[in-house]
Amino acid sequence: MKKLCILVLFVTFQIHAQQILSVKEQAVVIDDILEDRFNNLLPELMDRAHLDMWILISREYNEDPVLKTMLPAKWLNARRRTIIVFYRDKENDTIEKLAVARYNFGDNIISAWDKEKQPNQWNRLVEIIEERNPKNIGLNYSTHFNIADGLDKTDYDEFMQVLPKQYKAKVVSAEKLAIGWIETRTEREMIIYNQLVDITHDIIAEAFSEKVITPGITTTSDVEWWMRQKVIDLGLQTWFHPTVDVQRSKEDLKGHLYSFSDRPEEQVIVPGDLVHCDFGITYLRLNTDCQELAYVLKPNETTPPQFLIEALKDGNRVQDIFTANFETGKTGNDILLKSLQEAKAEGLKPSIYTHPLGSYGHSSGPTIGMWDSQGGVAGTGDYPLYPNTVYAIELNTTVNIPEWKRDIRVMLEEAGFYGETGFRYVNGRQTTLLTIPRVKEHQGN
């Protein structure tokens, strides 16, 4: 029997491992995806943003967040001062990808600076601009979108000092283009994203099982660190430390801030607890963000109490109302306010705080509520919804539980894709509570 158990655990690990590529294999995929994005996606985004020249400037270890997503797989950082120039000739349907650097920027962006012929890097950049005479020059600065605000003051000042006077008036914010690059997913990326979310679900399912949790002994912190270690052992990364918390009878419902800073770290998990996690991974330069729920069975229980099953249904209903309002061109604030109004009209008590997901965990695109801004979010909430984008559908609904003489909060988060044909979950969503331990079927009289 012991040998069989070991074999089962080994096979389980192998299933996870087979989903995850070696570092070398990941590099091939990353560079292939970058080539496709540069050649096929970027021209469309530049046309949509009405920009024909986009300049990104970074120095080593102080990378522009957008440029960081463009690094070749073998590059972990920019080198010295790295300047990238994209020039879009819409009339001839071409795009130039140039690096004002001593060497090629991987295989996709060629070096356009010979230091022996032109010793000054800034002057070479000016030559490239003058040779193409763009209608406008986009730089990465933005008031509301941090990821699109990656140009530092020193590089901006030095660039503007050398830029000829006739081009200064052509300098504009590349905010819309930078956001478009960060938020838009290609067809191949979405195939990969499904696998990424599947791995995330697998890790949560294992964490919320008897393999990891022994009621009365295991703490919430133990589970958090197990998840963190599991990610490392699988050769993956996480972009935030996992959190695990419990709701149980005879306790008051805490405020939202409780989830972030006031939560006790060493809660012992016991039978009857509703356990919740917030967990995400990074793989192939994409990110997940997922919240799921599990119930710890009491002796002689084989299913969660019906009142918790019904509470989860309320959470799913808020999801349905919310995602039905996704429509191209609607702003994050439009979607938020309409969804809250409709959910409340059904007697639900929702809170919606959904964010773009993709190249970063808290990515660029329309912010659809924040837990402390349920009336709308100025700036990022005014940005419109575009197709081929991914979101962490993050929300909760407050449900009164008479049996516990208190309210609970059903907190859910799943990756969702909005495409040309509407909304779908990337890899499904939770509609059934996990149980700890899993219910096993026993044979015999």
43-78: pLDDT as tens digits: 999 999 999 999 999 988 889 999 999 998 887 767
Q: Please tell me the distance from the alpha carbon of residue 397 to that of residue 423, in angstroms, as a whole number.
A: 21
How far apart are alpha carbons 376 and 99 in whole angstroms?
40
Closest CA to 218 of 251, 244, 199: 244
The confidence score (pLDDT) of residue 7 equals 35
Q: How open is the CA angle 27-29-32, to the nearest 5 degrees? A: 110
Report yes or no: 393 and 319 within 8 Å, Cβ to Cβ.
yes
Of the candidates 259, 226, 233, 280, the one whose C-alpha atom is nearest the C-alpha of residue 426 is 280
Q: What is the model's pLDDT at position 10?
A: 36
Q: Taking 50 as the threshold, does the pLDDT of residue 15 lie above it?
A: no
| Residue 55 contacts residue 138 (beta carbons within 8 Å) | yes
- Average predicted confidence (pLDDT) for the chain: 91
Binning the chain into helix, strand and coil, the percentages to the nearest 5 are: 35, 25, 40
- What Rg value do the Cα atoms of the chain yield, rounded? 25
Tell me the average pLDDT across 141-153. Answer: 96
Summarize the confidence of residues 279-298 as an average pLDDT.
97
Segment 239-261 shows an average pLDDT of: 79
Lowest-confidence range among 106-115, 219-228, 409-418, 431-440?
106-115
Q: How far apart are CA 311 and CA 1, in angstroms?
A: 39
Taking only the tens place, the pLDDT of each residue in 156-196 is 999 999 999 999 999 999 999 999 999 999 999 999 999 99
Position 2 scores a pLDDT of 38
Q: Which residue bears the tokens 């040779």?
A: 131
Q: Among residues 146, 185, 156, which one has the least CA distance to residue 45?
A: 185
Task: Return the pLDDT at 9.
Answer: 38
Confidence of residue 18 (pLDDT cuts 50, 70, 90): low
Nearest to 374 by CA among 337, 344, 401: 337
Per the model's pLDDT, the better-predicted residue between 4 and 249 turns out to be 249
Q: Which of 12-16, 143-147, 275-279 shows the lowest mean pLDDT across its residues?
A: 12-16
Q: How confident is the model at residue 257 (pLDDT cuts 50, 70, 90)?
A: low
Residue 283 has φ and ψ, to the nearest 5°, of: -160, 130
Contact (CB, 8 A) for 386 and 290: no
| 355: β partners | 392
Rounded mean pLDDT, 409-414 = 98
Q: What is the DSSP string of 94-145?
A: EEEEEEESSS-BTTTBEE---TTT---HHHHHHHHHHHH--S-EEE---SS-
Residue 252 CB-density burial (10 A; 0-12 exposed, 13-18 middle, 19+ buried): exposed
400 pLDDT band, cuts 50/70/90, is: very high
* Beta strand pairing call for 406-419 and 422-425: antiparallel
Q: What is the C-alpha to C-alpha distance for residues 259 and 37, in angstroms, rounded to an integer?
A: 37
pLDDT at 1: 41
What is the SS3 assignment for 251? coil
- Which residue is listed with tokens 């963000």? 289
Coil, strand or helix at 373: strand
Q: State pTM to two decimals.
A: 0.91
Q: Confidence band (pLDDT; 50, 70, 90) for 262?
A: low
186 or 439, which is more confident: 186
Min mean pLDDT across 7-21, 293-307, 361-375, 386-400 is at 7-21
| Cα pseudo-dihedral 215, 221, 224, 230, rounded to 10 | -80
Q: What are phi and psi of 32, to 5 degrees?
A: -65, -45
Q: What is the pLDDT of residue 102?
A: 81
Token pair listed for 379: 């700036």
Confidence label for 440 from pLDDT (cuts 50, 70 and 90): low
Give the burial class of 131: count Cβ atoms within 10 A of its Cβ; 0-12 exposed, 13-18 middle, 19 or more buried: exposed
- Would you state the structure tokens that stand for residue 414, as one six-digit string? 């799943």
Residue 408 has pLDDT above 50, yes or no: yes
DSSP state letters, 279-318 = E--EETTEE--EEEEEEEPPTT--S--HHHHHHHHHHHHH
